[in-house]
Amino acid sequence: MAVAWYNVTMVTNPEYRSASIIVERTQTGLRIEKRLLKVLKAVAEYHDVSLGDLVEGIVLHAFEGKCAFGRESLARIKQLKEVYGLNLTAAASHHLKEKGEK
């Protein structure tokens, strides 16, 4: 299954319509909230893409001030947040602290 948000970007931009873009990727040790990671992994699985590809797509959209997901994907994300108990919103983003952290 093609990821709708990624496919639309590829199709609507003539520069990328038929060309592959060669990039250099690096392995990273990213620390992320546990429930958020579970939802991201589930979204990646739902769209049949790797977690890295999903994160790249989200970030590239965010850098342009665009939403990376369509209505169907947002509805699925809402369901997955309920399944994994993820009640955080964007407002929490600069207030997260790890257990035992002051």
Least confident of 13-27, 40-54, 67-81: 13-27
- Phi, psi of 28, deg, nearest 5: -135, 155
- pLDDT at res. 90: 94
Nearest residue to 58 (alpha-carbon basis) of 46, 69, 43, 50: 69
Is residue 18 very low, low, confident or very high in pLDDT (cuts 50, 70, 90)? low
Domain limits, the chain: 4-18+33-92
- pLDDT at res. 52: 96
Nearest residue to 27 (alpha-carbon basis) of 60, 62, 51, 57: 51
Helices (H), 1-102: 4-12, 34-46, 51-63, 71-83
- For 31-59, the pLDDT digits (tens) are 999 999 999 999 999 999 999 999 999 99
**1: pLDDT strictly greater than 60:** no
Is residue 76 very low, low, confident or very high in pLDDT (cuts 50, 70, 90)? very high
Q: List Cβ neighbours of 9 (8 Å cut-off, separation of 6 or more).
A: 16, 57, 60, 61
Q: 39 and 69 in contact (C-beta within 8 Å)?
A: no
- pLDDT at res. 70: 96
